[in-house]
Homo-oligomer: A and B are copies of this chain.
Amino acid sequence: MKTARNTTAKTAVLEIFGKSKIALSHTEIYKQIEDVCDRVTVYRILDRLVNDDIVHKIVDLDGTVKYAKCHHHAQRVHIHNHAHFSCEKCLEITCLENVKPSYIMPHNYKVNNINFTLSGLCPNCLNSNI
């Protein structure tokens, strides 16, 4: 089995996630640590973090890919089926950990995963719009 290592680059990425309340793109992360490591390294670190369930990957309505830290509740198995909100104005993506959609599927489909993304105006931009 593989034993993950704590490298400078990985620590730097995790620190960024720790500080951010919103989801970040590869580019946004890389910009903050371009003197620490290579562009490719950031891609690889993100891949590993997603694989290790430390970070989850979110695809925006536009197709923009972002990443956010997972919030593990207790020791339970972590499921990513919560909703995400994508603000049309500031372009920030926020996890709505408590919003879970209910829906009725046709027969004969086996649902393994869901992606529920809402877009519009976040509380911040809604206020500044008045």
A residues whose Cβ falls under 8 Å from a Cβ of B: 59-63, 65, 83, 85, 88, 96, 98-123, 126-127
Instruction: Kindly name the residue among A98, A111, A113, A118 whose own CB sees the greatest number of chain B CB atoms within 10 A.
Output: A118
Residue among B103, B109, B112, B123 making CB contact with A101, cutoff 8 Å: B103
Copy number of this protein in the oligomer? 2
| A63 x B65 contact (CB < 8 A) | yes
Residue among B63, B107, B118, B122 making CB contact with A113, cutoff 8 Å: B118
| A109 x B126 contact (CB < 8 A) | yes
Which residues of B have CB within 8 Å of A118?
105, 109, 111, 113-115
| B126 x A108 contact (CB < 8 A) | yes
Q: Closest Cβ of chain B: how far from A99's Cβ, in Å?
A: 6
Q: Closest Cβ of chain B: how far from A82's Cβ, in Å?
A: 11
Q: Closest Cβ of chain B: how far from A126's Cβ, in Å?
A: 5
| A99 x B110 contact (CB < 8 A) | no
| A85 x B109 contact (CB < 8 A) | yes
> What are 29 pairs between A and B in contact, CB < 8 Å?
A59-B59, A59-B63, A61-B115, A63-B65, A96-B106, A98-B106, A99-B103, A99-B106, A100-B103, A101-B101, A101-B102, A102-B102, A102-B103, A108-B123, A108-B126, A109-B118, A109-B120, A109-B121, A110-B121, A110-B126, A111-B120, A112-B119, A113-B118, A114-B117, A114-B118, A115-B116, A115-B117, A115-B118, A116-B117
